[in-house]
Structure 1
Amino acid sequence: KKAINADGTSNAKDQSYVLYRLSQQQLAASVFPLGEMTKDEIRHIAADSGLINSDKPDSQDICFVPDGDYAGFIERYTGGTYPDGDFLDENGNVIGRHKGVIFYTIGQRRGIGTGFGKPMYVIGKNADNNTVTLGSNELLFTDTLYADNLNWIAFEYPESEFKCKAKTRYRQTEQPCTVYPQDRNTVRVVFDEKIRAVTPGQHVVFYDGDIVLGGGVIM
Structure 2
Amino acid sequence: MQDNIVLLSFEQTSKAYQALAELKQAAAEGRVQVIAAAVVERHADGRLQLKDGYGNGAVANAPLVGSMLGGLLGVLGGPLGVLMLGTTGALLGSMASADALGTRLSLVEQITRAVPPGATALFAHVEEAAVEVVDGLAKELDAVVLRRPTDAVYAEVQAAAEAQDAAAQQARQVLRDKQRAEWKEKLEAWSSEVQEHWHQLTDKIKARLDGKP
More strand by share: 1
The structure having more radius of gyration, on CA atoms, is: 2
More helix by share: 2
The bucket for the TM-score relative to the shorter chain is under 0.3
Q: Report the TM-score when normalising by structure 2.
A: 0.19
Give the structure, 1 or 2, with the largest relative contact order (CA under 8 Å, sep 6 or more).
2
